[in-house]
């Protein structure tokens, strides 16, 4: 479960090898999946790190390379590097692009994807170009901390609502078994609150929705795991660069890579 | 185009009152890029038609030279055959490059030769779409205003998709002069 992931992380430090060892495991993944084609769909709200994850899974991007948040206009497709038939589909996360989600939902319910990754970030959703004081949640005289609290709270609710939306096609999915990962990204921002974050996802409305899917599909047809990492270590800033929350003082790159390796490992285990 | 930087400075805060200006800029830059894309599209059609004509004329000349070689002296026959064969090869290869979806280079050369501003326009419209989308998500409160903004963003995105379809989707819209 999610808490175990954090425990694993806190023990692993010489990690560069771990990442390099785990990444090629995706090659095995392709062979193991039905029809020789690995189809992964990545859901998540805008600004949680879906595209960055897609690039990393496909082997296109190194985690040490910082990438500015750029909103995706349409569903993105990444092919596994060095693979013949692996594909990662990422519908854009913004609410106004729900038609792209509906198309992906149809594919999920048709059983086109056996691996579903839902990316959440404890409400730390990046936003583009807009200052936090222009956000509709901001009120005159509010401190940055107060704004971040209500902003992330709203985004956490959005994450739960989106999971409920995703749960419908997953419950109907013909893919057997369906494997779902909840990836809690942006560890570098919330690392000091990790107990709260763990509780939020594993002992709350979020997990209740996961349990509903489990009871509908049955444990033989559906399995779910929590994993967590920081895809990039960047802190939390507004769209115009104002710092909203800094990187946790006890978070480091070895921790990030350990978690990343854990994510790859879980995906690999899912396919065995 | 210089007004763009004055109208929206990225380092400045976008406030709810900027909404109308944002919509006006989206419309302005969508129309500008649409116009450029139409021009490029027409240019590509003209070039393709010209190359097709050359290919057909060369093929006819080739066939004629082969069929009626007895009526010509050997040097004339050889000259017509060589020229038409070379023209046919050159036009066919150019057409192949233009129609090849993976070959952005040829199209980009044509686009660049016609207009250096097109990529800059696409970059700026993409940036505007990002700002407008952020405005939609974070600033806009009224549902009806959100619908209007959504429509304007969608129109701008369809122009960007049109641009992508003409030159092939760029890896990024980053633009450096």
Does A134 contact chain B (CB < 8 Å)?
A: yes
Please give the residue that has the higher pLDDT: either A97 or A213.
A213
What confidence score (pLDDT) does residue A81 get?
A: 59
For chains A and B, what is the number of CB pairs under 8 angstroms? 60
For residue A30, pLDDT over 60 is answered with no
Please give the residue that has the higher pLDDT: either A200 or B92.
A200
Q: What is the pLDDT of residues A251-260, one digit of tens each?
A: 888 888 888 8
Per-residue pLDDT of chain B (177 residues; tens, 9 = 90+): 444 444 444 445 777 888 899 999 999 999 999 998 998 888 888 888 888 888 888 888 888 878 877 777 878 878 887 888 788 887 777 777 666 655 555 556 665 655 667 888 998 999 899 889 889 988 888 889 899 999 999 999 999 999 988 876 555 444 333
In three-state form (DSSP H/G/I as H, E/B as E, the rest C), the secondary structure along chain B is CCHHHHHCCCCCCCCHHHHHHHHHHHHHHHHHHHHHHHHHHHHHHHHHHHHHHHHHHHHHHHHHHHHCHHHCCHHHHHHHHHHHHHHHHHHHHHHHHHHCCCCHHHHHHHHHHHCCHHHHHHHHHHHHHHHHHHHHHHCCCCHHHHHHHHHHHHHHHHHHHHHHHHHCCCCCCCCCC
Please give the residue that has the higher pLDDT: either A180 or B14.
A180
User: What average pLDDT is seen over chain A?
Assistant: 80
Domain A2-270 is classified in which CATH homologous superfamily?
A: P-loop containing nucleotide triphosphate hydrolases (3.40.50.300)
What is the sign, positive or negative, of the torsion defined by CA atoms of A3, A177, A256, A199? negative
Best A46, A79, A130 residue to mutate vs chain B (most B CBs within 10 Å): A130
Q: At a CB cut-off of 8 Å and minimum separation 6, what does A111 contact?
A: A173, A174, A175, A176
Q: Do B16 and A134 touch (CB under 8 A)?
A: yes
Of A45-49, A63-67, A100-104, B120-124, which range is least confident?
A63-67
Q: Do B138 and A46 touch (CB under 8 A)?
A: no
On chain B, the residues whose CB falls within 8 A of the CB of A71 are 130, 133-134
Does A94 contact chain B (CB < 8 Å)?
A: yes
What confidence score (pLDDT) does residue B3 get?
A: 47
Of A45-59, A176-190, B18-32, which range is least confident?
A45-59
Task: Decide if A229 contacts A256 (C-beta within 8 A).
Answer: yes
Q: CA-CA distance, B112 to A17, in Å (whole number)? A: 45
Q: What is the pLDDT of residues A131-156, one digit of tens each?
A: 898 899 999 899 999 999 999 999 99
What confidence score (pLDDT) does residue A1 get?
A: 43
Q: CA-CA distance, A23 to A81, in Å (whole number)? A: 11
Domain borders along chain A are 2-270
Q: Do B134 and A73 touch (CB under 8 A)?
A: no
Please give the residue that has the higher pLDDT: either B96 or A202.
A202
Domain borders along chain B are 3-167
On chain A, the residues whose CB falls within 8 A of the CB of B14 are 129-131, 134
Residue A186 has what DSSP assignment?
Answer: -
Across the range A150-166, mean pLDDT stands at 95
Does B22 contact chain A (CB < 8 Å)?
A: no
Q: Do A136 and B15 touch (CB under 8 A)?
A: no
DSSP letter string over A90-150?
E----GGGHHHHHHHHHHHHTT--SEEEEEE-TT----SS--GGGSTT--TT--HHHHHHH
């Amino acid at each position: 479960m999610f808490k175990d992931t954090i425990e694993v992380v806190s023990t692993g430090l010489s990690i560069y090898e771990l990442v390099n060892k785990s990444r090629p495991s995706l090659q095995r993944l392709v062979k193991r999946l039905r029809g020789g084609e690995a189809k992964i769909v990545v859901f998540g709200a805008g600004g949680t790190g879906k595209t960055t994850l897609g690039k990393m899974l496909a082997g296109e991007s190194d985690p040490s390379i910082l990438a500015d948040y750029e909103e995706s206009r349409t569903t993105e497709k990444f092919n596994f590097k060095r693979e013949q038939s692996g594909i990662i589909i990422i519908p854009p996360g913004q609410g106004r692009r729900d038609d792209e989600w509906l198309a992906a939902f149809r594919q999920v319910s048709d059983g086109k994807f056996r691996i579903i990754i839902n990316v959440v970030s404890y409400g730390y959703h990046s936003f583009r170009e807009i200052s936090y004081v222009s956000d509709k949640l901001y009120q005159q005289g509010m401190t940055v901390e107060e704004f971040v609290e209500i902003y992330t709270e709203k985004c956490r609710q959005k994450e739960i609502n989106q999971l409920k939306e995703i749960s419908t096609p997953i419950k109907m999915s013909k893919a057997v078994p369906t494997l779902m990962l909840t990836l809690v990204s942006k560890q570098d921002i919330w690392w000091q609150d990790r107990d709260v974050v763990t509780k939020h996802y594993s002992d709350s409305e979020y997990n209740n929705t996961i349990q509903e899917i489990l009871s509908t599909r049955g444990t033989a047809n559906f399995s779910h795991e929590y994993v967590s990492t920081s895809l990039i270590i960047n802190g939390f800033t507004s769209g115009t660069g104002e710092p909203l929350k800094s990187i946790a003082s006890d978070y480091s790159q070895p921790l990030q890579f350990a978690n990343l390796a854990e994510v790859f490992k879980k995906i690999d285990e899912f396919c065995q | 185009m210089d007004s763009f930087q004055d109208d929206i400075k990225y380092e400045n805060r976008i406030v709810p009152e900027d909404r109308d200006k944002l919509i006006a800029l989206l419309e302005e830059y969508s129309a500008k890029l649409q116009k450029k894309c139409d021009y490029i599209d027409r240019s590509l059609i003209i070039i393709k038609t010209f190359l097709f004509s050359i290919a057909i004329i060369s093929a006819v000349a080739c066939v004629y030279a082969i069929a009626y070689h007895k009526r010509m002296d050997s040097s004339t026959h050889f000259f017509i055959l060589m020229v038409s064969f070379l023209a046919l090869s050159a036009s066919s290869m150019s057409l192949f490059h233009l129609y090849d979806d993976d070959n952005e280079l040829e199209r980009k050369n044509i686009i660049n030769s016609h207009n250096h501003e097109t990529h800059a326009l696409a970059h700026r419209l993409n940036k505007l779409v990002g700002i407008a989308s952020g405005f939609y998500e974070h600033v806009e409160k009224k549902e009806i205003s959100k619908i209007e903004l959504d429509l304007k963003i969608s129109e701008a995105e369809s122009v960007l998709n049109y641009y992508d379809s003409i030159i092939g989707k760029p890896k990024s819209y980053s633009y450096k002069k």
